[in-house]
Copies of this chain bind each other. A is one copy, B any other.
Amino acid sequence: MLEQFKKHLDKFVKISDDEFVDITQYFELQRLKKKENVLTEGQICKANYFVLDGILRKFFINEKGGQQTTEFAIENWWMTETFSYINQTATAFYIQAVHPTEVLVIRKQAYDELLEKHPALEKYFRMVYQKAYAAAQMRIKFLYEYSREELYLHFLKDQPAFLQRVPQYLVASYLGFTPEYLSEIRKKNLS
């Protein structure tokens, strides 16, 4: 499990084995059950989660009482509610395990201390957030550019493996439409 994280870090920065051992002190391993929440609306988001295995999703409850998924995280991705995490304010989001999921957890205070002690990780997180920001920008472009149907077909083409891993109503929720409409689109496009 930890080798996996080390391998991931190595893609961005040079960390000695000794340094890595110290770094791991700041993290904690957690196993989540299916549908277990690590963050609930109204709470302050106290931790950042690095997914080792499984899937996390982030969602909020809209006016009509439905769950609106805004993000998934799979292996080797970070998941947190960044705004609440950095400002330590109450969140409007839930973070939940879609399947049984294994995560590395780093709490806010540990995160600040870790970066203080290991400046090499400033570079790592700078690069991770830079990448995440770029991805969010492209996501916003897609939301503007494509119709709901096109979003689905695009997703189907780009992430066929991912589609197998989550139920359809979550895909619909992520793409911003209803399960009923997803059904209609799927019927129209063969299958």
**A residues neighboring B (CB under 8 Å):** 60, 62-63, 68, 70-71, 81-83, 86, 92-93, 115, 119, 122-123, 125-126, 129-141, 143-145, 176
- State how many angstroms separate the Cβ of A143 from the closest Cβ of chain B: 6
Q: Choose from B81, B92, B130 the contact partner of A86 (Cβ within 8 Å).
A: B130
Contact in complex: B115, A83 (CB < 8 Å): no
Give the CA-CA distance A141 to B143 in the complex, in Å: 11
Give the CA-CA distance A134 to B83 in the complex, in Å: 5
Give the CA-CA distance A65 to B181 in the complex, in Å: 27
- Complex A-B: 26 CB contacts under 8 Å: A60-B145, A70-B137, A70-B140, A70-B144, A71-B137, A81-B137, A82-B130, A82-B133, A82-B137, A83-B134, A83-B137, A86-B130, A119-B122, A119-B123, A123-B126, A125-B126, A126-B129, A129-B129, A129-B130, A129-B133, A133-B133, A136-B136, A136-B139, A139-B140, A140-B140, A140-B143
Mostly, the A contact residues are: helix
Residue of B nearest to A145 (CB): B62
Contact in complex: B144, A82 (CB < 8 Å): no
Contact in complex: B130, A125 (CB < 8 Å): yes
